[in-house]
Amino acid sequence: MSEKTPAIQVEGLTVKAGEKYLLKDIGFELYSGDVLGLIGETGSGKTVLIDAIGRNTAPGLSMKADKLCCFIDGKETDLLQKKEEELAATVWGKKMTFILSNARSRFSPIMTVGEQFINILKSNQDMTDKQAAQKVQEMFSLVQMPDPKQNMNNYPHELSGGMIQRVEIAIALAMSPKFLLADEPTMGLDVTVQRQILDLMDGLFKKSSSSVILATRDLGIAANYCNKVLVLYNGEIVEFSDVHSFFENPRHPYSRYLLEIAFVSNDKDPKAKQRVFRSQKDKGMNGCFCSGSCERAQEECLTKHPQIHLFSDGSFVRCGRY
Protein backbone atom coordinates (compact mmCIF):
# COMPACT_ATOMS: atom_id res chain seq x y z
CA MET A 1 0.00 0.00 0.00
CA SER A 2 1.27 3.46 -0.85
CA GLU A 3 2.52 5.68 1.96
CA LYS A 4 1.02 8.71 0.25
CA THR A 5 -2.15 10.24 1.65
CA PRO A 6 -5.15 9.07 -0.40
CA ALA A 7 -7.32 11.67 -2.10
CA ILE A 8 -10.45 9.55 -1.60
CA GLN A 9 -11.04 6.76 0.91
CA VAL A 10 -14.06 4.45 0.89
CA GLU A 11 -14.57 1.65 3.41
CA GLY A 12 -17.58 -0.57 4.03
CA LEU A 13 -19.93 1.42 1.82
CA THR A 14 -23.37 -0.16 1.57
CA VAL A 15 -26.53 1.13 -0.10
CA LYS A 16 -29.94 -0.55 0.19
CA ALA A 17 -33.41 -0.10 -1.26
CA GLY A 18 -35.54 -1.55 1.48
CA GLU A 19 -33.97 -4.96 2.12
CA LYS A 20 -32.31 -5.21 -1.29
CA TYR A 21 -28.60 -4.45 -1.50
CA LEU A 22 -27.62 -2.11 -4.33
CA LEU A 23 -24.02 -1.84 -3.09
CA LYS A 24 -22.41 -4.11 -0.52
CA ASP A 25 -19.20 -3.51 1.43
CA ILE A 26 -17.48 -1.31 -1.15
CA GLY A 27 -13.95 -0.20 -0.30
CA PHE A 28 -11.02 1.33 -2.20
CA GLU A 29 -8.57 4.24 -2.21
CA LEU A 30 -7.66 6.76 -4.90
CA TYR A 31 -4.72 9.12 -4.99
CA SER A 32 -4.19 12.53 -6.51
CA GLY A 33 -4.17 12.24 -10.29
CA ASP A 34 -5.84 8.82 -10.39
CA VAL A 35 -8.56 8.21 -12.98
CA LEU A 36 -10.63 5.21 -11.93
CA GLY A 37 -12.76 3.44 -14.50
CA LEU A 38 -15.93 1.92 -13.00
CA ILE A 39 -16.77 -1.03 -15.20
CA GLY A 40 -19.81 -3.27 -15.21
CA GLU A 41 -22.97 -4.03 -17.12
CA THR A 42 -26.24 -2.16 -16.67
CA GLY A 43 -27.51 -2.74 -13.13
CA SER A 44 -24.09 -3.52 -11.67
CA GLY A 45 -24.18 -0.48 -9.36
CA LYS A 46 -21.99 2.06 -11.15
CA THR A 47 -24.45 4.96 -10.94
CA VAL A 48 -25.39 4.16 -7.33
CA LEU A 49 -21.70 4.18 -6.38
CA ILE A 50 -21.08 7.53 -8.09
CA ASP A 51 -24.06 9.02 -6.24
CA ALA A 52 -23.09 7.50 -2.90
CA ILE A 53 -19.50 8.77 -2.97
CA GLY A 54 -20.80 12.26 -3.71
CA ARG A 55 -23.47 11.93 -0.97
CA ASN A 56 -26.12 12.35 -3.64
CA THR A 57 -28.14 9.14 -3.30
CA ALA A 58 -31.71 9.01 -4.57
CA PRO A 59 -34.61 9.46 -2.11
CA GLY A 60 -35.72 6.20 -0.53
CA LEU A 61 -32.27 4.63 -0.44
CA SER A 62 -30.39 4.02 2.81
CA MET A 63 -26.64 4.38 2.94
CA LYS A 64 -23.97 3.60 5.51
CA ALA A 65 -20.20 3.34 5.46
CA ASP A 66 -17.31 2.77 7.85
CA LYS A 67 -15.44 5.57 6.09
CA LEU A 68 -16.17 7.99 3.27
CA CYS A 69 -13.78 10.90 3.06
CA CYS A 70 -11.74 13.02 0.71
CA PHE A 71 -8.74 15.24 1.31
CA ILE A 72 -9.18 18.90 0.40
CA ASP A 73 -6.24 21.30 0.70
CA GLY A 74 -4.41 18.69 2.75
CA LYS A 75 -7.26 18.33 5.27
CA GLU A 76 -9.47 15.28 5.66
CA THR A 77 -13.14 15.98 4.91
CA ASP A 78 -15.53 13.41 6.36
CA LEU A 79 -18.36 13.33 3.82
CA LEU A 80 -20.50 11.17 6.11
CA GLN A 81 -20.62 13.82 8.82
CA LYS A 82 -21.52 16.76 6.61
CA LYS A 83 -25.12 17.81 6.17
CA GLU A 84 -26.46 18.62 2.72
CA GLU A 85 -26.19 22.37 3.39
CA GLU A 86 -22.51 22.02 4.33
CA LEU A 87 -21.78 19.91 1.27
CA ALA A 88 -23.44 22.49 -0.98
CA ALA A 89 -21.50 25.33 0.65
CA THR A 90 -18.03 23.78 0.88
CA VAL A 91 -17.74 20.68 -1.32
CA TRP A 92 -20.18 20.40 -4.23
CA GLY A 93 -19.21 22.60 -7.15
CA LYS A 94 -16.21 24.11 -5.42
CA LYS A 95 -14.15 20.95 -4.87
CA MET A 96 -16.27 18.09 -6.21
CA THR A 97 -18.34 18.15 -9.37
CA PHE A 98 -20.58 15.67 -11.14
CA ILE A 99 -21.31 14.77 -14.73
CA LEU A 100 -24.51 12.74 -14.85
CA SER A 101 -25.75 10.55 -17.69
CA ASN A 102 -29.26 12.07 -17.44
CA ALA A 103 -27.94 15.63 -17.70
CA ARG A 104 -31.25 17.20 -18.75
CA SER A 105 -32.81 16.44 -15.36
CA ARG A 106 -30.38 18.85 -13.67
CA PHE A 107 -31.55 21.92 -15.57
CA SER A 108 -34.54 24.13 -14.88
CA PRO A 109 -36.90 24.25 -17.87
CA ILE A 110 -37.77 27.92 -17.27
CA MET A 111 -34.26 29.40 -17.54
CA THR A 112 -31.84 29.38 -20.44
CA VAL A 113 -28.78 27.17 -20.13
CA GLY A 114 -26.63 30.30 -20.24
CA GLU A 115 -28.45 31.87 -17.28
CA GLN A 116 -28.09 28.69 -15.26
CA PHE A 117 -24.40 28.33 -16.12
CA ILE A 118 -23.74 31.97 -15.18
CA ASN A 119 -25.51 31.51 -11.82
CA ILE A 120 -23.38 28.46 -11.04
CA LEU A 121 -20.17 30.30 -11.90
CA LYS A 122 -21.07 33.34 -9.80
CA SER A 123 -22.05 31.21 -6.80
CA ASN A 124 -18.71 29.41 -6.84
CA GLN A 125 -16.30 32.05 -8.15
CA ASP A 126 -15.86 35.79 -7.77
CA MET A 127 -17.14 36.96 -11.16
CA THR A 128 -19.24 39.74 -12.66
CA ASP A 129 -22.11 38.93 -15.02
CA LYS A 130 -19.95 39.93 -17.98
CA GLN A 131 -17.01 37.80 -16.88
CA ALA A 132 -19.27 34.82 -16.26
CA ALA A 133 -20.94 35.15 -19.66
CA GLN A 134 -17.54 35.27 -21.34
CA LYS A 135 -16.47 32.19 -19.39
CA VAL A 136 -19.60 30.32 -20.55
CA GLN A 137 -18.80 31.07 -24.19
CA GLU A 138 -15.20 29.92 -23.69
CA MET A 139 -16.28 26.66 -22.09
CA PHE A 140 -18.92 26.04 -24.76
CA SER A 141 -16.22 26.43 -27.39
CA LEU A 142 -13.95 23.98 -25.56
CA VAL A 143 -16.62 21.26 -25.59
CA GLN A 144 -17.34 21.82 -29.30
CA MET A 145 -20.75 23.44 -28.77
CA PRO A 146 -21.98 24.86 -32.10
CA ASP A 147 -22.58 28.63 -32.04
CA PRO A 148 -21.80 29.13 -28.31
CA LYS A 149 -23.29 32.63 -28.10
CA GLN A 150 -26.61 31.58 -29.62
CA ASN A 151 -26.90 28.38 -27.60
CA MET A 152 -26.42 30.29 -24.35
CA ASN A 153 -29.88 31.74 -25.01
CA ASN A 154 -31.56 28.39 -25.58
CA TYR A 155 -33.69 26.58 -23.03
CA PRO A 156 -32.82 22.97 -22.13
CA HIS A 157 -35.68 21.53 -24.19
CA GLU A 158 -34.34 23.32 -27.27
CA LEU A 159 -31.05 21.42 -27.13
CA SER A 160 -30.45 17.85 -28.27
CA GLY A 161 -29.32 15.18 -25.82
CA GLY A 162 -25.74 15.48 -27.04
CA MET A 163 -25.74 19.27 -26.72
CA ILE A 164 -27.19 19.28 -23.19
CA GLN A 165 -24.53 16.73 -22.25
CA ARG A 166 -21.88 19.18 -23.49
CA VAL A 167 -23.37 21.88 -21.27
CA GLU A 168 -23.07 19.52 -18.30
CA ILE A 169 -19.44 18.74 -19.15
CA ALA A 170 -18.64 22.43 -19.66
CA ILE A 171 -20.02 23.30 -16.21
CA ALA A 172 -18.00 20.54 -14.54
CA LEU A 173 -14.76 21.57 -16.25
CA ALA A 174 -15.32 25.25 -15.48
CA MET A 175 -15.25 24.46 -11.74
CA SER A 176 -11.66 23.12 -11.99
CA PRO A 177 -12.57 20.49 -9.38
CA LYS A 178 -10.18 18.39 -7.33
CA PHE A 179 -12.67 15.52 -7.62
CA LEU A 180 -14.84 14.66 -10.60
CA LEU A 181 -17.54 11.99 -10.43
CA ALA A 182 -18.62 11.22 -13.99
CA ASP A 183 -21.39 8.80 -14.96
CA GLU A 184 -21.13 7.93 -18.67
CA PRO A 185 -20.03 11.54 -19.34
CA THR A 186 -19.92 11.36 -23.14
CA MET A 187 -23.06 9.30 -23.67
CA GLY A 188 -25.06 10.67 -26.60
CA LEU A 189 -22.07 12.23 -28.34
CA ASP A 190 -20.73 11.01 -31.67
CA VAL A 191 -17.39 9.21 -31.60
CA THR A 192 -15.32 12.13 -32.92
CA VAL A 193 -16.69 14.66 -30.42
CA GLN A 194 -16.49 12.06 -27.65
CA ARG A 195 -12.77 11.62 -28.21
CA GLN A 196 -12.14 15.38 -28.43
CA ILE A 197 -13.90 15.99 -25.11
CA LEU A 198 -12.22 13.05 -23.37
CA ASP A 199 -8.84 14.30 -24.60
CA LEU A 200 -9.71 17.76 -23.26
CA MET A 201 -10.76 16.36 -19.88
CA ASP A 202 -7.66 14.17 -19.73
CA GLY A 203 -5.34 17.11 -20.33
CA LEU A 204 -7.07 19.41 -17.84
CA PHE A 205 -7.18 16.88 -15.04
CA LYS A 206 -3.61 15.72 -15.54
CA LYS A 207 -2.51 19.34 -15.29
CA SER A 208 -4.42 19.87 -12.04
CA SER A 209 -3.76 16.36 -10.61
CA SER A 210 -7.48 15.94 -9.99
CA SER A 211 -8.93 12.57 -9.00
CA VAL A 212 -11.61 11.23 -11.33
CA ILE A 213 -14.12 8.39 -11.03
CA LEU A 214 -15.45 7.56 -14.48
CA ALA A 215 -18.33 5.11 -14.88
CA THR A 216 -18.41 3.59 -18.35
CA ARG A 217 -19.58 0.52 -20.25
CA ASP A 218 -16.99 1.29 -22.94
CA LEU A 219 -13.81 -0.59 -22.10
CA GLY A 220 -12.00 1.34 -24.83
CA ILE A 221 -12.53 4.53 -22.81
CA ALA A 222 -11.21 2.82 -19.69
CA ALA A 223 -8.15 1.54 -21.56
CA ASN A 224 -7.26 4.95 -23.01
CA TYR A 225 -8.16 7.37 -20.22
CA CYS A 226 -7.99 5.53 -16.88
CA ASN A 227 -5.03 4.32 -14.84
CA LYS A 228 -7.09 2.13 -12.49
CA VAL A 229 -10.10 -0.12 -12.98
CA LEU A 230 -12.82 -1.27 -10.60
CA VAL A 231 -15.19 -4.00 -11.80
CA LEU A 232 -18.67 -4.20 -10.27
CA TYR A 233 -21.15 -7.04 -10.43
CA ASN A 234 -24.49 -7.02 -8.60
CA GLY A 235 -23.34 -4.24 -6.26
CA GLU A 236 -20.04 -5.87 -5.22
CA ILE A 237 -16.46 -5.22 -6.28
CA VAL A 238 -15.07 -8.29 -8.05
CA GLU A 239 -11.74 -6.80 -9.15
CA PHE A 240 -9.64 -3.67 -8.56
CA SER A 241 -6.32 -3.17 -10.32
CA ASP A 242 -4.18 -0.90 -12.42
CA VAL A 243 -5.41 -0.60 -15.99
CA HIS A 244 -2.47 -2.41 -17.60
CA SER A 245 -2.82 -5.48 -15.37
CA PHE A 246 -6.56 -5.56 -15.96
CA PHE A 247 -6.30 -5.64 -19.73
CA GLU A 248 -3.22 -7.87 -19.91
CA ASN A 249 -4.05 -10.36 -17.15
CA PRO A 250 -7.56 -10.02 -15.68
CA ARG A 251 -7.87 -12.16 -12.54
CA HIS A 252 -11.62 -12.60 -12.23
CA PRO A 253 -13.74 -14.73 -14.63
CA TYR A 254 -16.28 -11.93 -14.95
CA SER A 255 -13.53 -9.49 -15.94
CA ARG A 256 -12.41 -11.90 -18.64
CA TYR A 257 -16.00 -12.20 -19.86
CA LEU A 258 -16.34 -8.39 -20.14
CA LEU A 259 -13.11 -8.16 -22.11
CA GLU A 260 -14.14 -11.00 -24.39
CA ILE A 261 -17.47 -9.49 -25.39
CA ALA A 262 -15.93 -6.02 -25.74
CA PHE A 263 -13.02 -6.83 -28.01
CA VAL A 264 -13.68 -10.18 -29.69
CA SER A 265 -13.83 -10.01 -33.48
CA ASN A 266 -17.30 -10.49 -34.94
CA ASP A 267 -15.66 -12.18 -37.94
CA LYS A 268 -14.09 -14.85 -35.75
CA ASP A 269 -17.08 -15.33 -33.44
CA PRO A 270 -20.31 -13.78 -34.77
CA LYS A 271 -22.27 -14.83 -31.67
CA ALA A 272 -19.83 -13.37 -29.14
CA LYS A 273 -21.62 -10.02 -28.82
CA GLN A 274 -24.89 -11.80 -28.01
CA ARG A 275 -23.33 -13.93 -25.29
CA VAL A 276 -24.93 -13.39 -21.87
CA PHE A 277 -23.18 -13.97 -18.57
CA ARG A 278 -25.18 -16.55 -16.61
CA SER A 279 -24.75 -16.00 -12.91
CA GLN A 280 -25.12 -18.89 -10.49
CA LYS A 281 -27.21 -16.50 -8.40
CA ASP A 282 -29.93 -16.89 -11.03
CA LYS A 283 -30.14 -20.54 -9.99
CA GLY A 284 -30.43 -19.80 -6.29
CA MET A 285 -26.80 -20.69 -5.53
CA ASN A 286 -25.17 -19.29 -2.39
CA GLY A 287 -21.57 -19.53 -3.53
CA CYS A 288 -19.56 -17.57 -6.09
CA PHE A 289 -21.73 -16.31 -8.92
CA CYS A 290 -19.01 -17.41 -11.37
CA SER A 291 -18.67 -20.97 -10.13
CA GLY A 292 -20.63 -22.45 -13.02
CA SER A 293 -18.39 -20.95 -15.68
CA CYS A 294 -14.98 -20.72 -13.98
CA GLU A 295 -12.34 -23.25 -15.02
CA ARG A 296 -10.71 -22.99 -11.57
CA ALA A 297 -13.89 -23.55 -9.54
CA GLN A 298 -13.86 -26.18 -6.80
CA GLU A 299 -16.60 -27.57 -4.57
CA GLU A 300 -16.33 -24.81 -1.99
CA CYS A 301 -16.98 -22.22 -4.73
CA LEU A 302 -20.50 -23.62 -5.08
CA THR A 303 -21.43 -22.99 -1.44
CA LYS A 304 -19.14 -20.31 -0.01
CA HIS A 305 -19.36 -16.63 -0.94
CA PRO A 306 -15.84 -15.50 -1.92
CA GLN A 307 -13.98 -12.89 0.10
CA ILE A 308 -11.55 -10.25 -1.12
CA HIS A 309 -7.96 -11.38 -1.75
CA LEU A 310 -5.50 -8.48 -1.50
CA PHE A 311 -2.25 -8.44 -3.47
CA SER A 312 0.99 -6.69 -2.47
CA ASP A 313 0.55 -3.96 -5.09
CA GLY A 314 -2.81 -2.86 -3.62
CA SER A 315 -4.96 -4.60 -6.23
CA PHE A 316 -7.54 -7.16 -5.14
CA VAL A 317 -10.00 -9.71 -6.45
CA ARG A 318 -13.10 -11.36 -4.98
CA CYS A 319 -12.13 -14.97 -5.48
CA GLY A 320 -11.42 -17.96 -3.23
CA ARG A 321 -8.90 -19.50 -5.58
CA TYR A 322 -6.01 -17.13 -4.78
Give the pLDDT confidence of 29-52 residue by residue, as tens digits. 999 999 999 999 889 999 999 999
The answer to whether residues 127 and 114 belong to one domain is: yes
Give the three-class secondary structure for 49. helix
The answer to whether residues 72 and 113 belong to one domain is: no
Q: Quick check: is 137 in a domain? A: yes
Q: Quick check: is 2 in a domain? A: no
Q: Residue 242 above 90 pLDDT?
A: yes
Give the pLDDT confidence of 248-262 residue by residue, as tens digits. 999 998 998 899 888
Q: What is the span of the domain harbouring residue 135?
A: 108-176
The answer to whether residues 188 and 169 belong to one domain is: no
Instruction: Supply φ then ψ for residue 71, to 5 degrees.
Output: -110, 115
pLDDT at 279: 56
Q: Quick check: is 103 in a domain? A: no
The answer to whether residues 191 and 299 belong to one domain is: yes
Q: Quick check: is 26 in a domain? A: yes
Q: Considering 118, 145, 176, which residue would you say is the last residue of a domain?
A: 176
pLDDT at 89: 86
Cα dihedral sign, 215-217-218-222 = positive
Q: Quick check: is 221 in a domain? A: yes
pLDDT-derived band of residue 26, with 50, 70 and 90 as boundaries? very high
CA pair distance 192, 321, nearest whole angstrom: 42
The answer to whether residues 80 and 214 belong to one domain is: yes
pLDDT at 269: 54
Q: Quick check: is 216 in a domain? A: yes
Burial status of residue 57 (CB atoms within 10 A of its CB: 0-12, 13-18, 19 or more): middle
CA pair distance 285, 297, nearest whole angstrom: 14
CA pair distance 131, 135, nearest whole angstrom: 6
CA pair distance 246, 241, nearest whole angstrom: 6
Q: Residue 182 above 70 pLDDT?
A: yes
The answer to whether residues 216 and 185 belong to one domain is: yes
Q: Residue 14 above 50 pLDDT?
A: yes
User: What is the tally of structural domains in the chain?
Assistant: 2
The answer to whether residues 45 and 149 belong to one domain is: no
The answer to whether residues 76 and 210 belong to one domain is: yes
The answer to whether residues 152 and 274 belong to one domain is: no
Q: Read off the pTM.
A: 0.88
Give the strand pairing for 236-242 and 316-318: antiparallel
The answer to whether residues 171 and 185 belong to one domain is: no
Give the pLDDT confidence of 260-308 residue by residue, as tens digits. 888 764 445 555 544 555 555 544 557 888 777 777 778 888 888 888 9
Q: Considering 121, 146, 176, which residue would you say is the last residue of a domain?
A: 176
Q: Considering 148, 176, 204, which residue would you say is the last residue of a domain?
A: 176
Q: Quick check: is 127 in a domain? A: yes
The answer to whether residues 154 and 255 belong to one domain is: no
The CATH number for 205's domain is: 3.40.50.300
Q: Residue 202 above 60 pLDDT?
A: yes
The answer to whether residues 144 and 187 belong to one domain is: no
Q: Quick check: is 65 in a domain? A: yes
Total Cβ atoms within 10 A of residue 260: 14
Give the three-class secondary structure for 80. coil
